[in-house]
Amino acid sequence: MSKTTVWLACYKGRSEHRGIARFADWLTRKVTRGIYSHCELAVTHDGHEYLCYSASFRDRGVRGKIMPLPDAKWDKLPLQATLPEVEAFFRKHNGKRYDWQGALGIALYNRERKDKLFCSEFCAEFLGLNDSWRYSPSHLYALVSSWQYDH
């Protein structure tokens, strides 16, 4: 049986969408002063696609979704995690709404809401980080990438 790699995938691309989706990407980058506007927990699925878990503004909350993660738009870091751990975490939070106030609260010092999640909060909570609501996608990428060199 082969080991499945779980990834932290961070979106650095520019959306082909117009309107609110593209604005949300821009706003996230602006208020967090980073290059990433979104993040996912991702597992390779069927060769060129990934099974991704996150809280998504576009999908209005916590969801699992199969999608491509091209290197031109996504940076990926391997995690010390298993697919069963990701699936159990997803089942615990599946259906929670997207937390816009929390996502903006990264810059505005808003408090955590237990009934809603935003993307980097979802990923940080999975990783067991304290105060998971304090992390932006860029902060999370910087932290996890530093773990790669802590040997």
- Residue 56 resides in a domain: yes
pLDDT at 105: 64
Show the tokens assigned to 147: 């773990």
Domains in the chain, number: 1
Domain enclosing residue 66, as ranges:
6-147
Scanning the structure block, which residue is given the tokens 């408090």?
111
At 151, the pLDDT band (50, 70, 90 cuts) reads very low
Identify the helix (H) or strand (E) that includes residue 35.
Answer: none
Look at residue 44 and tell me whether its pLDDT is greater than 70: yes
- Residue 33 resides in a domain: yes
pLDDT at 74: 96
Scanning the structure block, which residue is given the tokens 């990783």?
127
- Max CA distance (Å), the chain: 47
pLDDT at 100: 75
At 29, the pLDDT band (50, 70, 90 cuts) reads confident
- Residue 1 resides in a domain: no
CB-neighbour burial class of residue 116 (10 A; exposed 0-12, middle 13-18, buried 19+): buried
pLDDT at 1: 40
Look at residue 23 and tell me whether its pLDDT is greater than 50: yes
